[in-house]
């Protein structure tokens, strides 16, 4: 069961007044309807400050966190790596043979985790698949038919379909669907009772709808539909609460362990949070140095305010989501923050970045 013994900010090294300033900023944005709804959870030293909610929210709200799903999916694959069931340099086609079509035989598992596979972010028929309410298998089939945009390991191109293939690898290797595997191996042991890949239909009334633009594309218009919320997309279908995702961050900061329960090895955590581009000699030097990626996690990019802000430490890792979500953790300060909103903020994540700066300023 989750440890609900929340800490007071000063007990774990936050300046209370400065942290309250960050919370007030969030509430101001909600009052001004710049963020229709938001939930935040921060912590340090293995403990969590009580979550704060702002805006129009149901009781015990849950959020569709979009690409915050990606590090969670990668964690599932890393558990298979630990168990000796695959290696990062195994070919994807060894597990999904049809993936080799159109010159993709040399794409490795590592490439899928670092956005270096040569796959596009979405398949060309992405909108048609969503409009037709296609199953996940259709996204996998479409990805398997694609040619690559470039030779694996030579460039970086953000690609959600790489994460889709990781979900299929978990299915093929474990014999379980990715949602089943995550629940058994991570969510249940970590006490993340409000987290699922795809909705728990019994909790559907707690899911806060995402604010859509005035003229949403088919890519966006599905976000609040039963189809998308139940799909369980490995790259963007996670539904969770600020406190639950905080437990996932604490596990990462705890080198794979939380509350005496180990779900991942320190070795796997080190690999996920290290610059994987350094070992790829054909990646452009500017990408390796200025825009590094770990496995599933984005490292801090110097000179970029977008989403991560300006004050995070050099070893920080995190991810953002298109629905207006962010999580980051900094091993040097042993701190993390989870900010879940319902206001899409691509591409600059201005509220996410400003809130992060205010939280970082409260770490003393």
| Local mean pLDDT, 10-residue blocks, the chain (364 residues) | 76 98 97 96 97 95 98 98 98 98 98 98 95 97 98 98 98 98 98 98 97 83 96 98 98 97 98 98 96 97 93 97 97 98 90 97 98
Phi, psi (degrees; rounded to nearest 5) at 169: -65, -45
> What's residue 215's pLDDT?
83
319-346 pLDDT tens trace:
999 999 999 999 999 999 999 999 999 8
CA 12 and chain centroid, separation:
25
Please tell me the distance from the alpha carbon of residue 39 to that of residue 61, in angstroms, as a whole number. 8
Cis amide bond preceding 317, omega within 30: no
Q: What pLDDT score does 326 carry?
A: 98
- Name 335's bridge partners: 44, 330
Whether the Cβ atoms of residue 269 and residue 251 lie closer than 8 Å to each other? no
Domains of the chain: 9-68+179-360 (3.40.710.10), 71-177 (no CATH)
Q: What is the per-residue DSSP string for 17-32? A: HHHHHHHHHHHHHHHT
C-alpha distances in angstroms, 28 versus 309, 349, 355? 19, 17, 12
Q: Which of 86, 94, 61, 65 is nearest to 248 (CA)?
A: 65
**279-302 burial, b if ≥16 CB within 10 A, otherwise e?**
ebeebeeebbeebbbbbbbbbbbe
Q: Rounded to an integer, what distance in angstroms lies between the CA atom of residue 62 and that of residue 37?
A: 11
Task: Give Cβ neighbours of residue 39 (< 8 Å, ≥ 6 apart).
Answer: 51, 52, 53, 54, 57, 61, 63, 241, 242, 339, 340, 341
Tokens, residue 99: 């993936």
CA distance linking residue 155 with residue 136, whole number of Å? 27
pLDDT of residue 39: 98
What pTM value is reported for the model?
0.97
Answer left, alpha or beta for residue 118, where phi above 0 means left and psi between -120 and 50 means alpha. left
Residue 297 is classified by DSSP as: S
Q: CB 212: neighbour CB atoms within 10 A?
A: 15
* CA torsion angle 243 198 142 87 (round to 10): 50
95-147: pLDDT as tens digits: 999 999 999 999 999 999 999 999 999 999 999 999 999 999 999 999 999 99
- Residue 4: the pLDDT is 60
CB distance 156 to 115 below 8 Å: yes
Is 149 within 8 Å of 120 (Cβ atoms)? Answer: yes
* pLDDT score at 348: 85
């Amino acid at each position: 069961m989750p440890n609900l013994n929340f800490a007071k900010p000063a007990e774990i090294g936050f300046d209370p007044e400065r942290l309250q300033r960050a919370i007030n900023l969030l509430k101001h944005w909600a009052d001004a309807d710049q963020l229709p709804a938001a939930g935040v959870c921060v912590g340090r030293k293995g403990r969590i400050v009580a979550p704060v909610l702002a805006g129009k929210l149901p009781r015990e709200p849950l959020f569709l966190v979009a690409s915050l799903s990606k590090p969670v999916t990668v964690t599932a694959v890393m558990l298979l790596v630990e168990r000796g069931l695959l290696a990062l340099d195994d070919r994807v086609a060894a597990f999904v043979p049809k993936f080799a079509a159109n010159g993709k035989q040399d794409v490795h598992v590592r490439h899928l985790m670092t956005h270096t596979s040569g796959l596009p972010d979405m398949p060309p028929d992405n909108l048609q698949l969503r409009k037709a309410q296609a199953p996940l298998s259709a996204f996998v089939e479409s990805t398997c038919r694609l040619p690559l945009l470039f030779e694996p390991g030579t460039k970086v191109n953000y690609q959600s379909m790489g994460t889709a293939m990781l979900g299929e690898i978990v299915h093929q290797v474990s014999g379980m669907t990715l949602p089943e595997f995550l629940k058994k191996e991570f969510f249940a042991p970590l006490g993340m009772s409000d987290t699922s890949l795809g909705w728990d239909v019994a909790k559907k009334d707690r899911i806060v709808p995402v604010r859509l633009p005035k003229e949403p594309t088919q890519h966006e218009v599905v976000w609040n539909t039963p189809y998308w919320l139940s799909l369980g997309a490995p790259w963007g279908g996670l539904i969770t609460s600020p406190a639950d995702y905080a437990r996932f961050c604490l596990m990462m900061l705890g080198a794979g362990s939380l509350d005496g329960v180990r779900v991942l090895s320190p070795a796997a955590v080190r690999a996920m949070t290290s610059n994987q581009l350094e070992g790829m000699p054909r990646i452009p030097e500017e990408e390796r140095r200025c825009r590094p990626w770990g496995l599933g996690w984005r490292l801090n990019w110097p000179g970029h305010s977008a989403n991560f802000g300006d004050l995070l430490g050099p070893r920080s890792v995190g991810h953002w989501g298109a629905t207006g979500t962010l999580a980051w953790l900094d091993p040097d300060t042993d701190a993390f923050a989870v900010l879940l909103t319902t206001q899409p903020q691509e591409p600059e994540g201005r509220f996410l970045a400003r809130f992060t700066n205010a939280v970082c300023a409260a770490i003393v």
